[in-house]
Structure 1
């Protein structure tokens, strides 16, 4: 990257940090993420962002992954295993809804069915956009729809459910190891670099947690992530999300933006207001933890939101990863069947 690009990138992060701090003074839920997102979006659409913002997002994900590893205990690992059937059920429901919503999105946005399906399937934006480019679908439409869906979730969920005060008061283990936390960060970074080249899904979040699972399995207690570092992680996640909100992208595919609001809004509403009450009959977790777990958003953004709102971040991570993994496994064969033998604007 050139010096100018680096300076632009640094300026965008600084703008995000300032806006996040100002938002935190208001006391609104998820202030650092929402403020950083607003600051980044304003900066990107006025001054412009140079450099590769993906590295900023990866750093934020790495910190969030390590922070989630720090809350793991043998009991939580046991809960994750017992909740696995519920996680699979939530993934199946979300994907079924995604397939159904692809039909109205294709009509509203006037796009081909491949693009519509990749837009409505509840997986990561980068994975679906990459698949769109590989299959000749409209990657710009896919990116716009996924971005708006994540933004809608991040904005709506904290105001609907607030902060889980009971989880905020978690006890701190005096024997917890700061070295173990450092191992999650460094080990997670190394494993992420290696596994990202192998196509592993969301390694920057998952690998620090994987290191944490190994440590906890050997009865090593991991120190909590310092509050200041968590704030930095939230700023970086908010920055990367706001950097996607570029006016030229939405101006290029305005009908896709409208379709995203309508169809993504329907998917979010059904999963949160329809499925969460059913899930509570089988899973003993707070409504906000389950809402963030089943919400069709990005893995990093949902875990970061869980950390900021005092929700059970490990449980949220389990639900999010299960759904994302299942979606990426079924997407290619489903895409072939869904888009086969279609003609006209929906081909």
Structure 2
């Protein structure tokens, strides 16, 4: 049976997710499915990962999180919108500052380095970068490493520091009835369709958030998505990320693999410094601001906020704003940095500090 290895990886992923959830591992169903699927894919297994699986997972997760939205939460989001906008701009500036040294040590061109580090959509950055002269495969692989590294490390790291926001969990609310689930997902699906017209990335996640948020904030329904459905959404996100790891990429792009991990850590550290500054100036919770500024994926950071009992609505809003700005305008930012000579200035600075760039 040629599909037996894929079935085996799928079963192991499901069992790993289940055991991890029983053990209290943060983002258990994401990590439990991601790791076995990635290993199977690296060893040449044609793993089961439906093309629309990540979209379905994002819709479920977005809808589940959106149900926690209240009128008060909407007002709070509006209050902090300028900080959200600033955070998005800081993240794109951090990308620009790091992309030249990343380009040097990874031995790739500037467009590849820039779109590899930009905290946008996995597929969108590869597609957009290719139009600007970037290597599509290198960008896609670097983006996968960024999302995977942060989803594997950041939740556990924050938990080890004893961070817990103390906000109520979804499990403390009653389950939605089948009729209510139907209403919520119907509105969420409609919002997905409408969000597409904005040109935003992560339409399934944002549509789910928006649809469920409208229904919850209006008082039409109150409750939570059943755990099994929520876990399934996380599971689909995990296997879709894991399936992006290919043996060919590891063989052909070993330097990119290592350097991407290193520079994701550098960017995370820089944005943590920014989060500390925002915390000191505004009084926003440091742990929440750390997640809000982190270069992780929208769905993954929203789930992390839930696990840590932080202000999920606010943290998710930071990532929605950044996602929209970066995915819609990353080419314009790239050309702006080119025009003002930022990349050339960084090259000149590095020439003085460590010597001329090696030939690629």
Give the TM-score category using the shorter length.
0.7 to 0.9
Q: What's 1:335 paired with?
A: 334
Q: Please list the CA deviations of residues 27-73 of structure 1 after superposition, one character each: whole Å capped at 9, or x if unmatched.
A: 33333222221111122223523566331111110100100111111
Q: Do the aligned partners of 1:111 and 1:345 also contact (CA within 8 Å) in 2? A: no
Aligned residue pairs total: 343
* Residues 208/284 of structure 1: CA separation in 2 closer, same or farther (3 Å cut): farther
**Distance between the aligned counterparts of 1:60 and 1:40, measured in 2?**
16
Q: What's 2:269 paired with?
A: 269
1:24 aligns with 2:21: yes
* Residues 345/212 of structure 1: CA separation in 2 closer, same or farther (3 Å cut): farther
Matches within 5 A, 1:266-345: 266-272=266-272, 274-281=273-280, 286-338=285-337
Where does structure 2 lack aligned partners over 5 or more consecutive residues? 345-356
Q: Tell me the SS of whatever aligns to 2:25.
A: coil
* Residues 84/179 of structure 1: CA separation in 2 closer, same or farther (3 Å cut): farther
Matches within 5 A, 1:165-180: 166-169=166-169, 172=172, 179-180=179-180
**Distance between the aligned counterparts of 2:326 and 2:289, measured in 1?**
19
* Residues 39/335 of structure 1: CA separation in 2 closer, same or farther (3 Å cut): same
Q: Do the aligned partners of 1:9 and 1:53 also contact (CA within 8 Å) in 2? A: no
Matches within 5 A, 1:147-226: 147-162=144-159, 164=164, 166-169=166-169, 172=172, 179-193=179-193, 195-196=195-196, 199-226=199-226
Q: What's 2:242 paired with?
A: 242
Where does structure 1 lack aligned partners over 5 or more consecutive residues? none
* Residues 193/215 of structure 1: CA separation in 2 closer, same or farther (3 Å cut): closer
Deviation at 1:329, TM superposition (A): 3.4
**Distance between the aligned counterparts of 2:173 and 2:235, measured in 1?**
27
Q: Do the aligned partners of 2:6 and 2:48 also contact (CA within 8 Å) in 1? A: yes
Q: What's 2:35 paired with?
A: 38
Using the size of structure 1 for normalisation, the TM-score is: 0.86
Deviation at 1:125, TM superposition (A): 1.4
RMSD: 3.1
Q: Do the aligned partners of 1:70 and 1:181 also contact (CA within 8 Å) in 2? A: no
Deviation at 1:177, TM superposition (A): 7.0
Q: What's 1:230 paired with?
A: 230
Q: Tell me the SS of whatever aligns to 1:164.
A: coil
**Distance between the aligned counterparts of 1:225 and 1:284, measured in 2?**
32
Using the size of structure 2 for normalisation, the TM-score is: 0.83
Deviation at 1:25, TM superposition (A): 4.0
